[in-house]
Amino acid sequence: MTDVQLILIVALPLLLLVGVPIYAAIGLVGFAASWTMGSDLVFAAQSIFNGVDNFALLAIPAFILAGNIMEKGGLTHDIIRIFRKMFGHVHGSLGIITILSCMFFAAISGSGPGTVAAIGSIMIPSMIRYGYPAPYAASITATGGSLGILIPPSNPMIIYAIIANVSIADVFAAGMIPGLLMGIVLVATGYFTAKRSGAVVASIHEEEDGSDSLGSLIWKAKFALFLPILVLGGIYSGLFTPVEASVVAVAYAFLVAKFVYSRLNIAALNDAFVLTHKISGALMIVVACSALLAKVITFEMIPQQLSEAMSEISTNPLIILLLINIFLIFIGTFMETMSAIIILAPILVPLVTSLGINPVHFGIILMVNTQIAFLTPPLGVNLFVASQISQVPIEKISRAILPFLFALLSVLALVTLVPQLSLALPEFLRSLR
């Protein structure tokens, strides 16, 4: 084992375990490794700069801003009212409504924690008020928010597509069927978990949602409902690129929130910009520092060495994917989602492609794994967001979330074993062009 490899294997996990910020840990290890390789500071600086000098990255802050404008403009509440009207009579209805609302909001924001914050601030207090156990309310919201990584336009998907050098549109399309499947499985899990937990059959009160019919609510929210169709339809039809789609999403969300619904004032718009700045700024710092680490990993030929080590264990692609899944689930317990993608994708993509595994298919496997990472302590970002909203300790949420974790693992196994779940839609859309 070389000195560089020793730094990567020992120093990075150690820094993360002692609480060093992700960007700082990645940056320090990258600098130390590059210095040990004999590279100068110019190499490190250029690698960091080139890491964010990518046009496709512009889509991330724009999609985040679009989601924040939708949330600050009150459009999220209109969507929730529709789902309340549709499922208010079903046992455990508020849990189901939470999952479906998270699916919709995820298709706008592309952010897991952002989805938890936006939907959870509305639905968690509502569930508790209707008699749902607080840990259940927090756990189902945290789980629903994790769909933000799998349903396009997902920010982690954009990062992965750039690293793996595959089409962003293909990765987006590949996530649609697994994302819908995941939503269905989580809705079913929420239903049965609610029955077991003693949650009430929450028939939504008329005074809360009014006497409007379902058709009337859909008509009122038509502009909000059209946004995902505009964005994803434009991308898949070739009308505009993902970056252009993100800007269109911002413009459309602003026009609807400000001039159609008249709910967006200067203060709310400022809050949306500030929140977007914080999220995207923190992300770009991690991306920049990770670019240096990725360069070091490439120069050290770690992907090739890993491929050779894996081939000694088995040449069966399914066995390799099983081992990778176990490794990713473990890594996800202490490594932030975006960092895991940025660090591990350069290592794992060459490995799986050498085994004949489609990188688009592997991207969805990676997304599902990182989706699980949102919910696994001690890191579990979604758990912390849900805990802050519900005022429920992380420990209680972690226990309540176990049924949903088992549901996610079942979908992970299915996506791994059946590549066409991921590849069928991209192949179909390419055939239409």
Backbone angles phi, psi at 128, to 5 degrees: -65, -40
State the pLDDT at residue 198.
Answer: 59
Q: Distance between CA 165 and CA 129 in Å, rounded?
A: 48
Tokens 């592309």 -> residue: 110
Measure Cα distances from 186 to 93, 152, 159, 372 in Å: 13, 18, 26, 13
Tokens 């489609």 -> residue: 358
Q: Distance between CA 192 and CA 186 in Å, rounded?
A: 10
Q: Distance between CA 333 and CA 379 in Å, rounded?
A: 6
Q: Which amino acid is at 136?
A: Y
Q: Distance between CA 246 and CA 367 in Å, rounded?
A: 20
State the pLDDT at residue 227.
Answer: 83
| DSSP of 248-305 | HHHHHHHHIIIIIS----HHHHHHHHHHHHHHHHHHHHHHHHHHHHHHHHHHTTHHHH
State the pLDDT at residue 207.
Answer: 43
State the pLDDT at residue 401.
Answer: 92
Domain encompassing residue 408? 3-432
Say if residues 308 and 76 touch (Cβ distance below 8 Å).
Answer: no
pLDDT in tens, the chain (433 residues): 677 777 777 887 788 778 777 678 878 888 888 888 877 777 888 888 877 777 777 877 888 788 788 878 877 778 888 888 888 777 778 888 899 888 887 766 666 777 787 788 888 888 888 788 899 899 999 999 888 788 887 888 988 998 899 999 899 999 999 999 999 999 999 888 877 765 555 445 444 555 678 888 888 888 888 888 888 888 878 788 888 888 998 999 899 888 888 888 899 899 888 888 877 777 677 778 777 877 787 777 776 777 677 777 887 889 999 999 998 888 777 666 777 787 788 888 988 998 899 999 999 999 999 888 888 876 677 887 788 888 888 888 889 999 999 999 999 999 999 999 999 999 998 887 6
Q: How many residues does the chain have?
A: 433
Measure Cα distances from 243 to 56, 59, 235, 250, 364 in Å: 6, 4, 9, 11, 21
What predicted TM-score, i.e. pTM, was given to this entire model? 0.79
Measure Cα distances from 295 to 221, 315, 328 in Å: 47, 27, 21
Q: Distance between CA 321 and CA 352 in Å, rounded?
A: 8
Q: Distance between CA 399 and CA 135 in Å, rounded?
A: 8
State the pLDDT at residue 406.
Answer: 94
Tokens 């970002």 -> residue: 381
| DSSP of 191-253 | HHHHHHHT-------HHHH-S--HHHHHHHTHHHHHHHHHHHHHHHTTSS-HHHHHHHHHHHH
Tokens 């992300």 -> residue: 283
State the pLDDT at residue 433.
Answer: 66
Number of domains in the chain: 1
User: What distance lies between CA 171 and its chain's CA centroid?
Assistant: 13
State the pLDDT at residue 17.
Answer: 75
User: 169-185 burial, b for 16+ CB within 10 Å, e for fewer?
Assistant: bbbbbbbbbbbeebbeb
Q: Which amino acid is at 145?
A: G
State the pLDDT at residue 296.
Answer: 80
Say if residues 376 and 143 touch (Cβ distance below 8 Å).
Answer: no
Q: Which amino acid is at 256?
A: V
| DSSP of 398-411 | HHHTHHHHHHHHHH
Closest CA to 338 of 130, 168, 112: 112
